Amino acid sequence: MKRLASAAVALFGALLLVSLFLHLVPGDPIDVMLGEESTLVDREALRRAVGMDQPVHLQLWNFTRDFVTGELRTSVPPFQKKVMPSIGAALPLTLLLALAAMAVALVLALPLGVAAAARRGTAVDTAAMSAAVAGVALPRFWLGPVLIILFSLKLDWLPVSGAESWRHLVLPAFTLGTALSAFLARMTRAAMLEALREDYVTVARAKGLSPRAVLWRHAFRNALLPILTVLGLEFGALLGGAIVTEKVFAWPGMGTLLLSAIEKRDYNTVRATVLVFTCCYVLVNTLTDVAYALVDPRVRRRA
């Protein structure tokens, strides 16, 4: 219950915050849409059409009501399309991208982290951790174009942009997943080291189990839970990082929707996108908290 209340507060706060900023940002959807190519048009009629002649609190109330009932329309005349279908189309793509990035991160990070922990202090450890740190250091807006040049243009293996098949997913997922995988590899190593120090590992070793079995069956299994918890916590950051990645790869997800809505001053779409972003974030965080409570180390060890 308390969790629900705090989630509601976070959502409401986000809505207020984004509305406040939208209010502060100069320029309105009509100006921006007309832009420098603008022709002589009836500006006031357009403003009335999108409800911008109303006071701010009423605009907010209308937004909340329409958002909940799914009747929300964009703030961009002349055809104020419904917002929900756009979000319905964009959200799965962003979630797909985030999940794929996570998969990439796991595939890269787990072996690296485990290898580094198993051979702690050796060259393997140093190399793996250097690779991991290097991964954190690569800016996405730089890595993305470099990957496009390399794999799309020079090698012609993968498409440049868009979201038409699984092959379109590879480069964005890799770009988005690199930083996470670097972070995760370090986490994995730390969790493995901790697990390897535990009594049951010592016992397992004493029983004469092969080092490989000890490493994977005992230590890794126990290290996995904290790793997955961290993964949940990082999901929100991944959604944020998706904004830049989607821009680079023209991936039609929430980030693209949001950036173009900001650009167009499409107030309703900006508010709705941010709310959905925040919902995802809060939801994932809550789930992670719950999961964490469930797999609390003390509970786990007794089982």
Partner 1 sequence: MRLRLRSVGGRFGLAVAGLLVLVALLAPLLSPHAPEAMDLATELSPPRPGHPLGTGENGIDLLTHVLYGARVSLVVAAFAVALSALVGTVLGGLAGFMGGLVDEALMRLTDVLLAFPGMLLAIFITAVLGPSLTHVIFALSFTGWTGYARLARGQVLTLRERDYVQAARALGAGNARILFHHLLPNAAGPLVVQATSALPGAILAEASLSFLGLGAPPGTPSWGALVDQGTQYLLVAPHVALFPGLALALTVLGFHLLGDAVRDALDPKHLER
Partner 2 sequence: MPPLLRPVVLSLLVALLPGCRAERPPPGITVLIESPPESLDDRFTLSAMGQRLAQLITPGLITLDDTSTPVPDLAESFRELSPTLVELTLRPGLTFHDGSALTTEDVKATYDSMGDPAIASPRAERYAAVERVEVVDARTVRFHLRRPYAPLLSELSLGILPAERASAAGKEVQGRAPIGAGPFRFASQPDEDHLTLVPFAGHYRGAPAIPRLHFRVVRDETTRVLELLKGRADLVLNALSPAVLPALEREPSLRVLTQEGTGFAYLGLNLRHGPLADARVRRALCHLVDVEPLVTYKFHGLAVPANGMLPRTHWAWAPVSGCRYDPKEAARLLDEAGYPDPDGPGGTPRLSFQLKTSTDRFRRSVALVLQEQLARGGVAVEVRSLEFGTFFNDIRRGNFELFTLKWASVIEPDLMRSAYHSGNVPTEANHWGGFNRGALRDGALDALLDEASRVSTPERQALYFQAQERLDVLVPVVPLWHESSVAVVSRRLQDFAPSAHGRFTPLALARMVEP
Which residues of the chain form contacts with partner 1 (CB under 8 A)? 6, 9-11, 13-14, 17-18, 21, 24-26, 120, 126, 129-130, 133-134, 136-139, 141-142, 145-146, 148-149, 153, 193, 236, 239-241, 243-244, 258, 262, 274, 277-278, 281-282, 285
Site for partner 2 in 126-145 (CB under 8 A): 145
* Residue 92 binds to partner 2 (criterion: CB under 8 A): yes
| Only segment of 175-183, 206-214, 243-251, 274-282 that touches partner 2 (CB under 8 A) | 243-251
Q: Which stretch binds partner 2 (CB under 8 A): 100-108, 117-125, 128-136, 188-196?
A: 100-108
Contact 300, 237 (CB under 8 A): no
Looking at the Cβ atoms of 1 and 40, the one nearer to partner 2 is 40
| Residues from 159 through 198 that contact partner 2 (CB under 8 A) | 159-166, 169
Shortest spacing between CB 133 and partner 1, in angstroms: 5
| Residue given tokens 């699984």 in the structure block | 166
Q: Judged by CB under 8 A, does residue 295 bind partner 2?
A: no
Q: Is the peptide bond before 92 cis (omega within 30 degrees of 0)?
A: no
